[in-house]
Structure 1
Amino acid sequence: MRIIGAMENTTAPAYRSFVAVGDSFTEGMCDELHPDGSYRGWADLVAARLAAATPGFRYANLAVRGKLIGQICDEQVGVAAAMGAELVTLAGGLNDVLRPGCDVAEVSARLGDAAEKLAAGARRVVLFTSADPSRRLRGSARLLPAIVRMKEFVAELARQRPEFVVVDLFSAPCFDDPRLWAEDRLHLSPEGHRRVAEAVLEALGAPAGFDWRAPLSAAPAQRWAARRRSDLRWVRIHLGPWVVRRLTGRSSGDGRAPKRAELAAYEG
């Protein structure tokens, strides 16, 4: 087993094809936008580096925001497995954990089944542990037991097959910094995506170009009134609509197609 937690490089390992599977984390929510209006995200950054190193490289990104682990398994895993890519990344389950009454054992079982199916035809399957929200978000401590159980499950899963590697975001204190997160406090900022991309490449054996775990330089202290205004804006613009979607059974990904549904040449 390899559990990775460390460093951008100028070279990348030779993978001829890559499929990314998951939810908003992998879709690239809140990163910079491509000309077509889709988000870039860490997976696209990884694909760009792999494409630069390997002529004929192909890439698909099946991830869709808001998807639960069952939806990822039912809608993406079979499609990804049929593509036969050499590299697959799989991230999911956090949307389930955010919901009250989450059955962590069931979520873990579905994630494990997905990983096994993807590993049957891939050289490498990259898994993730979630960053610890309790160190940066008030009121998120209730999520921690489930996140820790998922973290332990992923680590145990990786011990069972040499094809699995784990990118350990949970143990990286840099992700406690709000600047690695978007205004909604749930999705990564561009800097957060850049660091996750580097972590994935380092997990694949690429030499380090920078230490993605390193803390950011100190930020100016924010006054109490500014913090309260920021909190109120977050509740109004982000938390409130999220709660409404949960209460009405809707998802931000309803009716949304993957941004790269075909395994095709990556041109940036």
Structure 2
Amino acid sequence: MSSSGYLRYVALGDSHTEGLGDGDDVRGLRGWADRLAEQVARHSPGLLYANLAVRGRKAGQVRAEQLAPALAMRPDLATVVAGVNDVLRPGCDLDEVAGHVEAMFAALTAQGATVATLMFPDVGRITPLARPIGHRVLALNARIREAADRHGVVVAETAAHAAATDPRLWSADRLHAGPLGHMRIAAAVAQALGLPGSDDKWTLPLPAEGTDISVWRAVGAELRWAGTFLGPWVGRRLRGRSSGDGRQAKRPALLPVAASAGDTSPSV
């Protein structure tokens, strides 16, 4: 399938693909997958797009809940991004996680779809308190990259550039990209797919800004983040709850996509 001739795009994944950090649950979420669909639609006016992603889902849940519906839609383009919710939990089996992701790669490519995925940045460089799991993220990246190679899956190397961990690309919770981050992820996947008009500008660092932050201010910021975001997350884990409990996909069926004439997101 030509990169300018996709007819059906289906996105599978968790909160990142759902679009958390780019909009909200009142006004609606956009996110990198929606932005990518708009880019594809510029050259494929009849594009139909479904987004099956649901926040909080682990890789096994994405496979169990989203793969069969995705295959039934017979996409010629699919994105699969899962595993972050697994590595955040203690006792994570990286081989099992990668196995679920590879099973989705295998099923979708066997049906003839072009499949794309992306690499996760080192969360320890975004949130110091997350440094103990940084090595897990990088190890999962390696496994997913190997699986992608085996199945001809397109990989957007979004973690390979310093800009990926610039705080200005991330939302206040430091777990999800902000609007600018989602815009760059979409641009990275578009370039990896070879979409017309795509380029490598997404890799460029953001303009320099003042970095004179005192130790006490930095510590205070970490404590505020822990109380506002980490505490509630740990509380849900202890209660066996997930942020996605009771939630459904925001776009469970293939629907037409209006091509974006240009991105109006805030830039830095």
TM-score (norm: length of structure 1): 0.89
Provide the C-alpha distance between the structure 2 equivalents of 1:31 and 1:151, rounded to a whole number of angstroms: 24
**8 Å Cα contact 2:13/2:53 also seen in 1:** yes
- The residue number in structure 1 matching 2:29 is 39
- The residue number in structure 2 matching 1:143 is 133
Pick aligned residue for 1:70 from 60, 68, 72: 60
Name which of structure 1's ranges 207-216 and 104-113 shifts more when overlaid on structure 2: 207-216
**8 Å Cα contact 1:88/1:122 also seen in 2:** no
Pairing of 1:130-209 with structure 2 (within 5 A): 130-162=120-152, 164-206=153-195, 207-209=197-199
Matched length: 255
Query: Offset of 1:210 from its aligned partner?
Result: 5.3
The one-character-per-residue Cα deviations of 1:101-136 (angstroms, maximum 9, x if unpaired) are: 101111111111111112122431002211111223
Pick aligned residue for 1:121 from 111, 124, 128: 111
Provide the C-alpha distance between the structure 2 equivalents of 1:65 and 1:15, rounded to a whole number of angstroms: 26
Identity in percent: 40
DSSP 3-state at the match of 2:254:
strand
Query: Offset of 1:37 from its aligned partner?
Result: 2.6
DSSP 3-state at the match of 2:218:
helix
1:23 corresponds to 2:23: no
Bigger RCO of structures 1 and 2 (CA < 8 A, at least 6 apart):
1
- Structure 2: 5+ residue stretches without partners: 260-268
Pick aligned residue for 1:106 from 77, 96, 103: 96
Q: Which amino acid aligns with 1:118?
A: L
- Structure 1: 5+ residue stretches without partners: 1-11
Q: Which amino acid aligns with 2:174?
A: R
- The residue number in structure 2 matching 1:239 is 230
**8 Å Cα contact 1:38/1:259 also seen in 2:** no
The one-character-per-residue Cα deviations of 1:170-217 (angstroms, maximum 9, x if unpaired) are: 212111211111000110011100100000110111243551111111
Provide the C-alpha distance between the structure 1 equivalents of 2:103 and 2:199, rounded to a whole number of angstroms: 34
Query: Offset of 1:227 from its aligned partner?
Result: 3.0
Query: Offset of 1:84 from its aligned partner?
Result: 0.3
The one-character-per-residue Cα deviations of 1:129-182 (angstroms, maximum 9, x if unpaired) are: 1111122321323223322222121221222233x1111122121112111110
Provide the C-alpha distance between the structure 1 equivalents of 2:148 and 2:227, rounded to a whole number of angstroms: 40
- The residue number in structure 2 matching 1:257 is 248
Provide the C-alpha distance between the structure 2 equivalents of 1:99 and 1:249, rounded to a whole number of angstroms: 12
DSSP 3-state at the match of 1:264:
strand
The one-character-per-residue Cα deviations of 1:217-261 (angstroms, maximum 9, x if unpaired) are: 112225324434432321221111001011111000011011100
C-alpha RMSD of the superposition: 1.8
Pairing of 1:41-60 with structure 2 (within 5 A): 41-60=31-50
- The residue number in structure 2 matching 1:215 is 205
DSSP 3-state at the match of 2:128:
coil
Pick aligned residue for 2:80 from 57, 72, 90: 90
